[in-house]
Amino acid sequence: MKVIEAEFVASAFSPRDFPPAGLSEIVFAGRSNVGKSSLINRLVEKRNLARTSSTPGKTQSINFYRVNRSLHFVDLPGYGYAKVPKSVGRHWKKLVEAYFRSRPGIVLVLHLVDARLRLTPLDQELAQWLCHLGFPTMVVATKADKLSGNERSSQLRALSSSFEGVPVLLSSAVTGIGCKEIWKRVADTTQHV
């Protein structure tokens, strides 16, 4: 897909901040610092559309970006960052649950995991929850540029085994590995809406 226009729409700190429904939504979910914002920037070919940080837990709202006036990319707060106060973590969880319950336009969830790290119980919990909700999901293993060719093959096999029945793809916001495949999945998914 050729990106002609990509723009920030809203930061939602509560459900009343969500923009009006109506566009197809591609959701980026995963642990803190997994590279959700960086991947969004790479996909739309804009360096600073989604704010990135090397500090985990920086995204504290649900951020909406409109792409080509036809769909939203939705950047969820990351999970699993230990230094976030428990009350903030609970608020994020409620906000994310409200988002998934109230948005009829969700057509694809990209569950991002770090290709270099072992899956955490929270990664497994999110995968089970997404399966329960029934949203089409694709696992995107980020930061694949930091792995050797053999490590990539090995990690892809391991992740495919862990996420049985869910497509798994290696990606890199630095090199663009996997971006064409993500866009193909987005196009295939939104075509049926």
Note the pLDDT of residue 32: 86
Task: Give the pLDDT confidence score for residue 117 in this predicted structure.
Answer: 92
* 3-class SS string, the chain: CCCCCEEEEEEECCHHHCCCCCCEEEEEEEECCCCHHHHHHHHHCCCCCCCCCCCCCCCCCEEEEEECCCEEEEECCCECCCCCCHHHHHHHHHHHHHHHHHCCCEEEEEEEEECCCCCCHHHHHHHHHHHHHCCCEEEEEECHHHCCHHHHHHHHHHHHHHCCCCCEEECCCCCCCCHHHHHHHHHHHHHCC
| Residue 93 falls inside a structural domain | yes
- Residue 153 domain flag: yes
- CATH number of the CATH domain containing 181: 3.40.50.300
pLDDT of residue 134: 93
Within-domain flag for 140: yes
- Per the structure, the count of domains in the chain is 1
Tens-level pLDDT at each residue, the chain (193 residues): 788 999 999 999 999 999 999 999 999 999 988 999 999 999 999 888 887 765 555 567 899 999 999 999 999 988 875 455 666 667 778 899 999 999 999 999 999 999 999 898 989 999 999 999 999 999 999 999 999 989 999 999 999 999 989 999 999 999 999 999 999 999 999 876 5
1 lies in some domain: no
Residue 88: inside a domain: yes
Is 110 inside any structural domain?
A: yes
> Which residues constitute the domain of residue 35?
6-191
Decide if 69 is inside a domain: yes
Q: What is the pTM of this model?
A: 0.92
Residue 91 covered by a domain: yes
Give residue 123's pLDDT: 92
- Which pLDDT belongs to residue 80? 72
Q: Are 86 and 71 in contact (CB under 8 A)?
A: no
Predicted pLDDT of residue 58: 56
